Amino acid sequence: MRPLTIYAALFMAFIYGPVLLLVVFSLNDNTFATFPLKGFTLRHYVEMWSQAPMLAALGNSLRIGLGVTLLTTAIAIPAALALTRFRFPGKPAILGAMMLPLVIPSIVLAVSLLVIILKFLNIPLSLWTVAAGHVLICLPFCTSVLMSRMEGFDPSLEEASRDLGSPPWQTFRRVTLPLAMPGVISSLLLGFIISFDEFVIAFFLTGTDNTLPVYLYSQLRFPNRLPATLALGSLILVGSTLLVVIAEILRRRGVQSNNPGDL
Protein backbone atom coordinates (compact mmCIF):
# COMPACT_ATOMS: atom_id res chain seq x y z
CA MET A 1 0.00 0.00 0.00
CA ARG A 2 1.39 3.37 -1.00
CA PRO A 3 2.16 5.99 1.69
CA LEU A 4 -0.29 8.44 0.14
CA THR A 5 -3.10 5.89 0.38
CA ILE A 6 -2.26 5.22 4.04
CA TYR A 7 -2.21 8.94 4.75
CA ALA A 8 -5.58 9.43 3.04
CA ALA A 9 -7.12 6.56 5.02
CA LEU A 10 -5.81 7.92 8.32
CA PHE A 11 -6.98 11.42 7.47
CA MET A 12 -10.50 10.19 6.63
CA ALA A 13 -10.59 8.16 9.86
CA PHE A 14 -9.52 11.23 11.85
CA ILE A 15 -12.22 13.41 10.26
CA TYR A 16 -15.15 11.00 10.13
CA GLY A 17 -14.32 8.64 12.98
CA PRO A 18 -15.96 10.80 15.69
CA VAL A 19 -19.02 11.24 13.47
CA LEU A 20 -19.42 7.49 13.07
CA LEU A 21 -18.98 7.01 16.82
CA LEU A 22 -21.95 9.32 17.33
CA VAL A 23 -24.15 6.86 15.45
CA VAL A 24 -22.61 3.84 17.19
CA PHE A 25 -23.18 5.19 20.70
CA SER A 26 -26.73 6.25 19.83
CA LEU A 27 -27.47 2.57 19.17
CA ASN A 28 -25.63 1.32 22.25
CA ASP A 29 -27.73 0.00 25.14
CA ASN A 30 -25.94 2.11 27.71
CA THR A 31 -26.46 5.51 29.32
CA PHE A 32 -22.79 6.40 28.93
CA ALA A 33 -20.89 6.78 25.66
CA THR A 34 -18.10 4.39 26.52
CA PHE A 35 -16.59 1.11 25.38
CA PRO A 36 -17.20 -1.78 25.53
CA LEU A 37 -20.61 -1.66 23.87
CA LYS A 38 -23.41 -3.39 25.78
CA GLY A 39 -25.77 -4.22 22.95
CA PHE A 40 -27.98 -2.87 20.21
CA THR A 41 -31.08 -0.82 21.00
CA LEU A 42 -33.41 1.77 19.46
CA ARG A 43 -34.66 2.84 22.87
CA HIS A 44 -32.82 6.14 22.76
CA TYR A 45 -34.54 7.10 19.52
CA VAL A 46 -37.92 6.46 21.15
CA GLU A 47 -37.02 8.41 24.30
CA MET A 48 -35.84 11.31 22.18
CA TRP A 49 -39.44 12.25 21.31
CA SER A 50 -40.34 12.68 24.98
CA GLN A 51 -37.76 15.44 25.51
CA ALA A 52 -39.92 18.59 25.27
CA PRO A 53 -37.07 21.15 25.53
CA MET A 54 -35.16 19.31 22.82
CA LEU A 55 -38.17 19.28 20.51
CA ALA A 56 -38.76 22.98 21.19
CA ALA A 57 -35.15 23.76 20.25
CA LEU A 58 -35.54 21.62 17.14
CA GLY A 59 -38.63 23.60 16.17
CA ASN A 60 -36.75 26.88 16.69
CA SER A 61 -33.93 25.74 14.43
CA LEU A 62 -36.35 24.56 11.76
CA ARG A 63 -38.24 27.86 11.76
CA ILE A 64 -35.05 29.91 11.68
CA GLY A 65 -33.54 27.73 8.97
CA LEU A 66 -36.61 27.98 6.76
CA GLY A 67 -36.99 31.74 7.19
CA VAL A 68 -33.28 32.41 6.69
CA THR A 69 -33.19 30.20 3.61
CA LEU A 70 -36.10 31.94 1.91
CA LEU A 71 -34.90 35.45 2.75
CA THR A 72 -31.28 34.78 1.82
CA THR A 73 -32.17 33.21 -1.51
CA ALA A 74 -34.55 36.08 -2.28
CA ILE A 75 -31.64 38.49 -1.73
CA ALA A 76 -29.07 36.32 -3.49
CA ILE A 77 -31.05 35.93 -6.74
CA PRO A 78 -31.03 39.64 -7.76
CA ALA A 79 -27.52 40.04 -6.31
CA ALA A 80 -26.16 37.18 -8.41
CA LEU A 81 -28.02 38.46 -11.46
CA ALA A 82 -26.56 41.94 -11.07
CA LEU A 83 -23.03 40.64 -10.46
CA THR A 84 -23.07 38.36 -13.51
CA ARG A 85 -25.05 40.43 -16.02
CA PHE A 86 -24.07 44.06 -15.44
CA ARG A 87 -21.00 46.22 -15.10
CA PHE A 88 -21.08 49.08 -12.63
CA PRO A 89 -18.62 51.08 -10.50
CA GLY A 90 -17.52 49.36 -7.34
CA LYS A 91 -18.57 45.89 -8.47
CA PRO A 92 -15.39 44.13 -7.19
CA ALA A 93 -15.69 45.93 -3.85
CA ILE A 94 -19.33 44.95 -3.45
CA LEU A 95 -18.56 41.33 -4.32
CA GLY A 96 -15.65 41.31 -1.87
CA ALA A 97 -17.80 42.78 0.89
CA MET A 98 -20.46 40.14 0.32
CA MET A 99 -17.88 37.37 0.60
CA LEU A 100 -16.25 38.69 3.80
CA PRO A 101 -18.17 36.32 6.13
CA LEU A 102 -16.38 33.46 4.38
CA VAL A 103 -12.97 34.62 5.63
CA ILE A 104 -13.83 36.29 8.95
CA PRO A 105 -13.63 33.83 11.88
CA SER A 106 -17.04 32.96 13.25
CA ILE A 107 -16.12 34.02 16.78
CA VAL A 108 -15.05 37.47 15.57
CA LEU A 109 -18.22 37.87 13.54
CA ALA A 110 -20.39 36.73 16.46
CA VAL A 111 -18.82 39.13 18.95
CA SER A 112 -19.06 42.00 16.47
CA LEU A 113 -22.75 41.33 15.86
CA LEU A 114 -23.35 41.06 19.60
CA VAL A 115 -21.79 44.48 20.23
CA ILE A 116 -23.69 46.11 17.37
CA ILE A 117 -27.05 44.62 18.40
CA LEU A 118 -26.76 45.37 22.13
CA LYS A 119 -24.70 48.57 22.28
CA PHE A 120 -25.61 50.42 19.10
CA LEU A 121 -29.05 49.14 18.10
CA ASN A 122 -30.22 48.34 21.65
CA ILE A 123 -32.18 45.31 20.45
CA PRO A 124 -32.80 42.46 22.92
CA LEU A 125 -31.38 39.11 21.97
CA SER A 126 -33.88 36.63 20.57
CA LEU A 127 -34.38 34.18 17.74
CA TRP A 128 -34.76 37.20 15.44
CA THR A 129 -31.19 38.30 16.15
CA VAL A 130 -30.00 34.74 15.50
CA ALA A 131 -31.83 34.76 12.17
CA ALA A 132 -30.24 38.10 11.23
CA GLY A 133 -26.78 36.70 11.93
CA HIS A 134 -27.53 33.58 9.90
CA VAL A 135 -28.64 35.65 6.91
CA LEU A 136 -25.27 37.37 7.01
CA ILE A 137 -23.27 34.14 6.93
CA CYS A 138 -25.54 32.33 4.45
CA LEU A 139 -25.63 35.12 1.88
CA PRO A 140 -22.13 34.57 0.39
CA PHE A 141 -22.74 30.85 -0.01
CA CYS A 142 -26.12 31.30 -1.69
CA THR A 143 -24.83 34.10 -3.91
CA SER A 144 -21.83 32.04 -5.03
CA VAL A 145 -24.01 29.07 -5.96
CA LEU A 146 -26.40 31.26 -7.96
CA MET A 147 -23.57 33.13 -9.68
CA SER A 148 -22.03 29.87 -10.85
CA ARG A 149 -25.38 28.85 -12.30
CA MET A 150 -26.12 32.16 -13.99
CA GLU A 151 -22.66 32.25 -15.53
CA GLY A 152 -23.28 28.76 -16.93
CA PHE A 153 -26.19 29.41 -19.28
CA ASP A 154 -26.28 31.41 -22.49
CA PRO A 155 -27.33 35.07 -21.96
CA SER A 156 -28.43 35.21 -25.60
CA LEU A 157 -31.60 33.40 -24.48
CA GLU A 158 -32.52 36.41 -22.39
CA GLU A 159 -31.62 38.74 -25.24
CA ALA A 160 -33.85 36.76 -27.59
CA SER A 161 -36.73 37.09 -25.15
CA ARG A 162 -36.26 40.85 -24.95
CA ASP A 163 -35.97 41.12 -28.73
CA LEU A 164 -39.35 39.40 -29.01
CA GLY A 165 -40.90 42.16 -26.92
CA SER A 166 -40.98 40.60 -23.47
CA PRO A 167 -40.62 43.11 -20.62
CA PRO A 168 -37.75 42.56 -18.15
CA TRP A 169 -39.94 40.97 -15.49
CA GLN A 170 -41.46 38.51 -17.96
CA THR A 171 -38.00 37.61 -19.28
CA PHE A 172 -36.83 36.97 -15.75
CA ARG A 173 -39.88 34.87 -14.85
CA ARG A 174 -40.06 32.79 -18.04
CA VAL A 175 -36.40 32.52 -19.08
CA THR A 176 -33.90 33.44 -16.35
CA LEU A 177 -35.61 31.88 -13.35
CA PRO A 178 -36.31 28.47 -14.98
CA LEU A 179 -32.72 28.29 -16.20
CA ALA A 180 -31.43 29.24 -12.76
CA MET A 181 -33.76 26.86 -10.90
CA PRO A 182 -31.09 24.18 -10.17
CA GLY A 183 -28.99 26.90 -8.55
CA VAL A 184 -32.00 28.24 -6.65
CA ILE A 185 -32.78 24.81 -5.23
CA SER A 186 -29.14 24.26 -4.35
CA SER A 187 -29.06 27.67 -2.67
CA LEU A 188 -32.13 26.82 -0.61
CA LEU A 189 -30.65 23.53 0.54
CA LEU A 190 -27.24 24.94 1.43
CA GLY A 191 -28.74 27.94 3.21
CA PHE A 192 -30.93 25.71 5.33
CA ILE A 193 -28.06 23.37 6.22
CA ILE A 194 -25.76 26.22 7.21
CA SER A 195 -28.40 27.93 9.35
CA PHE A 196 -29.66 24.73 10.95
CA ASP A 197 -26.20 23.50 11.97
CA GLU A 198 -24.66 26.85 12.95
CA PHE A 199 -23.54 27.13 16.59
CA VAL A 200 -21.19 30.03 17.28
CA ILE A 201 -23.38 32.92 16.16
CA ALA A 202 -26.49 31.29 17.64
CA PHE A 203 -24.67 30.82 20.96
CA PHE A 204 -23.83 34.54 21.17
CA LEU A 205 -27.03 36.00 19.75
CA THR A 206 -29.77 33.79 21.19
CA GLY A 207 -31.96 34.96 24.05
CA THR A 208 -34.08 32.75 26.28
CA ASP A 209 -35.02 30.41 23.43
CA ASN A 210 -32.30 28.07 22.26
CA THR A 211 -31.58 26.72 18.83
CA LEU A 212 -30.88 23.02 18.57
CA PRO A 213 -27.05 23.21 18.38
CA VAL A 214 -26.97 25.47 21.47
CA TYR A 215 -29.35 23.16 23.33
CA LEU A 216 -27.32 20.06 22.45
CA TYR A 217 -24.16 21.75 23.69
CA SER A 218 -25.84 22.60 27.00
CA GLN A 219 -26.93 18.98 27.51
CA LEU A 220 -23.43 17.53 27.32
CA ARG A 221 -23.05 18.20 31.05
CA PHE A 222 -25.84 15.74 31.92
CA PRO A 223 -24.82 12.13 31.22
CA ASN A 224 -28.37 10.77 31.64
CA ARG A 225 -29.58 12.97 28.78
CA LEU A 226 -26.73 12.09 26.45
CA PRO A 227 -28.30 9.05 24.71
CA ALA A 228 -31.31 11.00 23.42
CA THR A 229 -28.97 13.77 22.35
CA LEU A 230 -26.84 11.30 20.42
CA ALA A 231 -29.93 9.83 18.77
CA LEU A 232 -31.15 13.21 17.57
CA GLY A 233 -27.64 14.11 16.44
CA SER A 234 -27.50 10.94 14.36
CA LEU A 235 -30.79 11.76 12.65
CA ILE A 236 -29.60 15.28 11.91
CA LEU A 237 -26.32 13.90 10.56
CA VAL A 238 -28.17 11.66 8.11
CA GLY A 239 -30.53 14.43 7.03
CA SER A 240 -27.74 16.99 6.61
CA THR A 241 -25.66 14.55 4.57
CA LEU A 242 -28.55 13.91 2.21
CA LEU A 243 -29.19 17.62 1.77
CA VAL A 244 -25.51 18.31 1.07
CA VAL A 245 -25.39 15.56 -1.53
CA ILE A 246 -28.53 16.86 -3.25
CA ALA A 247 -27.23 20.44 -3.18
CA GLU A 248 -23.89 19.41 -4.69
CA ILE A 249 -25.59 17.42 -7.45
CA LEU A 250 -27.75 20.41 -8.33
CA ARG A 251 -24.77 22.78 -8.17
CA ARG A 252 -22.77 20.65 -10.61
CA ARG A 253 -25.78 20.32 -12.85
CA GLY A 254 -26.12 24.09 -12.85
CA VAL A 255 -22.48 24.59 -13.83
CA GLN A 256 -22.43 21.96 -16.57
CA SER A 257 -25.77 22.66 -18.22
CA ASN A 258 -25.69 25.43 -20.81
CA ASN A 259 -29.10 25.27 -22.46
CA PRO A 260 -32.71 24.59 -21.51
CA GLY A 261 -32.56 21.11 -23.00
CA ASP A 262 -30.08 20.08 -20.27
CA LEU A 263 -32.45 20.91 -17.46
CATH of the domain at 71: 1.10.3720.10
| pLDDT, position 247 | 67
Pair 167, 215 in one domain: yes
| pLDDT, position 262 | 47
Question: Are 44 and 231 spatial neighbours (Cβ–Cβ below 8 Å)?
Answer: yes
Pair 215, 148 in one domain: yes
Alpha-carbon gap, residue 198 to 245, rounded angstroms: 18
Pair 188, 155 in one domain: yes
Distance of CA 23 to the CA centre of its chain: 21
For 14, the domain range is 1-41
Pair 1, 88 in one domain: no
Q: Which residues of the chain have pLDDT under 70?
A: 1, 32-34, 247, 250-263
Pair 154, 197 in one domain: yes
Residue 143 lies in a domain: yes
CA-to-CA separations, 226 to 18, 48, 104, 130, 231, in angstroms, rounded: 15, 10, 33, 25, 9
- What are the strands, taking DSSP E only, across 75-206? none
Pair 90, 29 in one domain: no
Question: How many Cα atoms occupy the beta-carbon half-sphere of 247 within 13 Å?
Answer: 21
Pair 143, 241 in one domain: yes
Pair 196, 218 in one domain: yes
| pLDDT, position 193 | 86
Pair 74, 14 in one domain: no
Residue 62 lies in a domain: yes
Helix (H, G, I), strand (E, B) or coil at 28: strand
Residue 46 lies in a domain: no
Residue 61 lies in a domain: yes
| pLDDT, position 260 | 47
Pair 139, 235 in one domain: yes
Q: Among positive and negative, which fits the CA dihedral 143, 145, 148, 151?
A: negative
Pair 31, 64 in one domain: no
pTM over 0.85: no
Residue 18 lies in a domain: yes
Instruction: Give the chain's domain count.
Output: 2
Residue 47 lies in a domain: no
Q: What is the pLDDT of residues 182-195, one digit of tens each?
A: 888 888 888 998 99
Pair 70, 165 in one domain: yes
